Amino acid sequence: MAYLFRCTTKQSIGGGKVPKGVTIQVVTQYDRPPQTNELRNAIKQQLGIEVKESFSASYFNIEKVRK
Entry field: residues in the chain: 67
Say how many CA atoms lie within 13 Å of 3 toward its Cβ.
13
Report domain extents, the chain.
Answer: 3-66
**pLDDT (mean) for 31-57:** 94
At residue 45, the pLDDT reads 97
- Range name among 3-7, 50-54, 58-62, 63-67 with the lowest pLDDT average: 63-67
Q: Of 48, 45, 43, 50, whose CA–CA distance to 22 is shortest? A: 43
Confidence check: pLDDT of 12 > 70: yes
CA–CA distance from 25 to each of 4, 18, 38 (Å)? 7, 14, 10
Q: Measuring CA to CA, which residue among 58, 52, 43 is closest to residue 14?
A: 52
